Amino acid sequence: MGGQVRFLPLLVGMGLNKISAAAPSVAGLKAELARLNQTACQKLLADALNCATADEVGALLEHFSAQISVPLLETELVVIDSDATSKEEVIKQGFDQLFILGRTDSSLAVENAIWRREATYAPGRVNVTGSPVTCTAAAAPS
């Protein structure tokens, strides 16, 4: 079971820090482990323990994997023809869009992280990697 990528989130949720796997699969497993969040895996494990069947657990694992496998930037994250009139409004629309599309469970945490970044770097142009891109028709890139 430890060598199967599909079950890694459950093993992480159990708090296991050592697994046995065939040598050729170690690099792929390490890459997958680096993408996992222990708190999210613990929640997944708790949900899995409440499932009545193996099929329910399988569906839960598929849903979990789909959530962590989303591309960094999608067209749905780009807001065209925004009515924002300030950089602050653009940023607010951006993290709201992340929440609406299910890309974060905590819009407040995203908001706080973005404002900390803005306070630290204060660029003249908003460019937060992995965040939605928001622009007005007048400011749209050519």
Residue 23 and residue 36 in one domain: yes
Average pLDDT for consecutive 10-residue bins of the chain (142 residues)?
A: 81 86 82 84 95 95 81 79 87 84 79 84 53 47 46
Residue 62 and residue 112 in one domain: no
Q: For position 110, what pLDDT does the model report?
A: 83
Contact 114, 99 (CB under 8 A): no
Count of the separate structural domains present in the chain: 2
CA nearest to 30, candidates 8, 62, 1: 8
- Output b/e per residue, 1-19; b: 16+ Cβ within 10 A: eeeeeeebbbbbbeeeeeb
Contact 80, 140 (CB under 8 A): yes
Contact 132, 80 (CB under 8 A): no
Q: Which residue has the tokens 């937060």?
A: 128
| Residue 135 belongs to domain spanning | 71-142
Residue 110 and residue 121 in one domain: yes
Residue 120 and residue 82 in one domain: yes
The DSSP output letter for 133 is P
Q: For position 142, what pLDDT does the model report?
A: 45
Residue 107 and residue 54 in one domain: no
Residue 84 and residue 141 in one domain: yes
Q: How many residues does the chain have?
A: 142
Strand-pair partners of 134: 79
Of the residues 15, 50, 68, which one is the last residue of a structural domain? 68
DSSP 2-48: TT-GGGHHHHHHTT-------GGGHHHHHHHHHH--HHHHHHHHHHH
